[in-house]
């Protein structure tokens, strides 16, 4: 049986909606969505402490010294805080590979997702004024909630989800786009436990494609750009990929290939579909857009939705097998490390200068008398500089420790898998020419390492035995959905465990844990 939009169902089957048919219930829904009830107090306190550290303590430390890129780093800290806040609001999305569903208005994105779920849970009659980014993910039981304009979660039900449509806007003259920032739907019918779909607004307004006030375009671009993967939907009745779609996709500057779906395939013959797909592939190649696959799809079919293949299912299963790490701790560590390295280097410079001055001081009597005071001032300035840099280093270390403690508590309270669990290891190899070193190594031995270099081929880890362990970039991309730079960077300390020793080839195989 074909899936239909909620509006069509109500018209054809006389299915009622309590929020649309009862004005009192409709007003109750609006009232609940704009509520300011408090979230879990412990989490609010932890976030408040973290916010204070960033807005006040970090700024106070920066005022002690002109540090490099202070403004840029402050913005990165605020962004990292936003990511922690998102984690507390939607911990069900932690460690999920986010696949954003993009496309123009009326490309059939919601209907497409409903067809994968085999459940008409998303409203398909949305208009540009009521479209809201919606996450769909796996849950042991069905839970639906909205994030309102006060950044608070409000539980809602299916009826409320289906009421978020043009019908509600038309009846009560209320647009949910100013009330709800996003929806999250957890359902046991979702077939992929390591994936979350993100239904984004159509980037093009039906009545004003090029208008400057197209907030849907801004929202769509923001969410699509931050996703791990993109499935792009096109209405096959358009006959080809629209120029506006090409421009929007290119403006995203997305780093991974995009999976392209020509939806509503029931509107075209097999020969017409073949021509559309071939033309689209040619256009993508000409425009320099990487396409994972280009397929035809019928969202209304009860089964065998993809026309002539299983490329979409294979794509989703491949992503579902990949690990997505929560990296909120690491985001802060990378920022603080920049300042710690800078201050450490400044202190070393001051110590080297002081050492040189002290060596010269042995012969200070050879200098003219009026130069003695000036020379002593230089020594005192170096001593003050060293003392100051030590203090700043200690302050930054204290700041970093407090941030890590707070984030640790947040992750613990949310029961989120951290990024440094041992089962998240990836294989690496190293050649060993020193037979004595090789003879000292044992299988299952654990060694501390530090990333010393990264390039287009791989990353290299110093482990203290004279040779570097190498991990291939392609292996990292195959295992993790995160960008390589999110997980690894020069100077990052990692745990290395030897899993195999080949004494004939003088090589070892290791597992590197984040």
Nearest by Cα to 175 from 127, 237, 124, 213: 127
Fold of 422-513: OB fold (Dihydrolipoamide Acetyltransferase, E2P) (2.40.50)
Do 167 and 104 touch, CB atoms closer than 8 A?
no
* Residue 207 in this model has a pLDDT that exceeds 50: no
Model confidence pTM above 0.75: no
| % pLDDT > 70, the chain | 87
136 alpha-carbon distance from chain centroid: 16
Q: How far is CA 13 from CA 9, 25, 166, in A?
A: 5, 22, 19
Q: How confident is the model at residue 243 (pLDDT cuts 50, 70, 90)?
A: very high
3-state SS, residue 1: coil
Residue 164 or residue 85, greater confidence: 85
DSSP state of 175: -
Domain ranges of the chain: 6-37+94-320, 42-82+327-414, 422-513
Residue 210 has a pLDDT of 44
Tell me the per-residue pLDDT of 171-182, one tens digit each, with 9 for 90 and over: 777 777 778 888
- Three-state secondary structure of 101-122: EEECCCCCHHHHHHHHHCCCCC
Tell me the per-residue pLDDT of 274-292, one tens digit each, with 9 for 90 and over: 999 999 999 999 999 999 9
Do 418 and 329 touch, CB atoms closer than 8 A?
yes
Direct distance between the N- and C-terminal alpha carbons of the chain, in angstroms, rounded to an integer:
48
* Residue 419 in this model has a pLDDT that exceeds 70: no
Tell me the per-residue pLDDT of 290-306, one tens digit each, with 9 for 90 and over: 999 999 999 998 888 99
Q: How confident is the model at residue 41 (pLDDT cuts 50, 70, 90)?
A: low
Which CATH code is given to the segment(s) 6-37+94-320?
3.40.50.300
Which secondary-structure segment (H or E) carries 262?
strand 258-263
Do 154 and 35 touch, CB atoms closer than 8 A?
yes
Do domains 6-37+94-320 and 422-513 share one topology? The answer is no
Tell me the per-residue pLDDT of 382-404, one tens digit each, with 9 for 90 and over: 888 888 888 888 888 899 899 98
Q: What is the mean pLDDT of the segment spanning 89-103?
A: 87
Q: What is the mean pLDDT of the chain?
A: 82
Q: 36 burial class (0-12, 13-18, 19+ CB within 10 angstroms)?
A: exposed
Choose the weakest-confidence range: 8-12, 377-381, 414-418, 497-501.
8-12
Do 203 and 102 touch, CB atoms closer than 8 A?
yes
Residue 206 has a pLDDT of 47
- CA angle 45–51–53, rounded 5-degree value: 105
């Amino acid at each position: 049986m074909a899936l239909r939009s909620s509006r069509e169902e109500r018209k054809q089957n006389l299915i009622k909606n309590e929020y649309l048919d009862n004005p009192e219930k409709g007003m109750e829904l609006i009232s609940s969505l704009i509520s300011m009830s408090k979230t879990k107090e412990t989490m609010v306190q932890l976030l408040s402490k973290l916010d204070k550290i960033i807005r006040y303590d970090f700024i106070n430390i920066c005022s002690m010294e002109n540090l490099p890129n202070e403004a840029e780093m402050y913005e990165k800290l605020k962004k990292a805080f936003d990511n922690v806040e998102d984690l507390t609001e939607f911990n069900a999305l932690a460690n999920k590979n986010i696949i954003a569903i993009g496309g123009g208005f009326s490309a059939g994105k919601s209907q497409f997702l409903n067809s994968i779920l085999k459940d008409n849970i998303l409203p398909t009659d949305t208009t540009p004024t009521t479209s809201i980014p919606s996450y769909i993910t796996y849950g042991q039981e069905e839970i639906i909630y909205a994030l309102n304009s006060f950044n608070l979660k409000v539980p809602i039900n299916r009826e409320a989800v289906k009421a978020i449509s043009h019908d509600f806007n038309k009846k009560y003259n209320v647009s949910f786009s100013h009330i709800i920032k996003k929806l999250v739907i957890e359902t046991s019918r979702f077939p992929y436990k390591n994936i979350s779909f993100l239904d984004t607004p159509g980037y093009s307004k039906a009545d004003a494609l090029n208008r400057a006030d197209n907030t849907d375009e801004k929202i769509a671009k923001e969410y699509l750009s931050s996703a791990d993967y993109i499935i792009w939907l096109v209405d096959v009745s358009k006959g080809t990929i629209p120029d506006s779609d090409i421009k929007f996709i290119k403006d995203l500057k997305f780093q991974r290939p995009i999976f392209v779906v020509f939806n509503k395939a029931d509107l075209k013959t097999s020969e017409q579909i073949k021509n559309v797909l071939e033309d689209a592939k040619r256009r993508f190649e000409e425009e320099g857009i990487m396409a994972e696959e280009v397929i035809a799809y019928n969202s209304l079919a009860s089964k065998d939705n993809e026309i002539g293949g299983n490329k979409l299912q294979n794509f989703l299963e491949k992503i579902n097998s990949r690990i997505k790490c929560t990296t909120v701790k690491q985001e802060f560590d990378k920022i603080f490390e920049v300042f710690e390295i800078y201050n450490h280097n400044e202190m070393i410079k001051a110590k080297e200068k002081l050492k040189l001055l002290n060596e010269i001081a042995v012969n200070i009597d050879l200098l003219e008398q009026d130069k003695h005071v000036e020379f002593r001032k230089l020594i005192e300035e170096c001593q003050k500089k060293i003392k100051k840099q030590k203090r700043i280093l200690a302050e930054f270390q204290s700041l970093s420790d407090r941030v890590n403690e707070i984030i640790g508590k947040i992750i613990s309270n949310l029961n989120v898998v951290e990024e440094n669990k041992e089962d998240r290891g990836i294989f690496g190899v190293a050649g060993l020419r020193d037979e004595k070193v090789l003879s000292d190594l044992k299988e299952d031995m654990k060694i501390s390492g530090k990333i010393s270099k990264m390039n287009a081929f791989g990353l290299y880890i110093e482990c203290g035995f004279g040779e570097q362990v190498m991990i291939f970039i392609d292996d990292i991309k195959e295992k993790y959905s995160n960008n390589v730079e999110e997980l690894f960077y020069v100077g990052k300390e990692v745990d290395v465990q030897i899993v195999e020793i080949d004494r004939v080839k003088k090589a070892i195989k290791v597992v590197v844990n984040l």
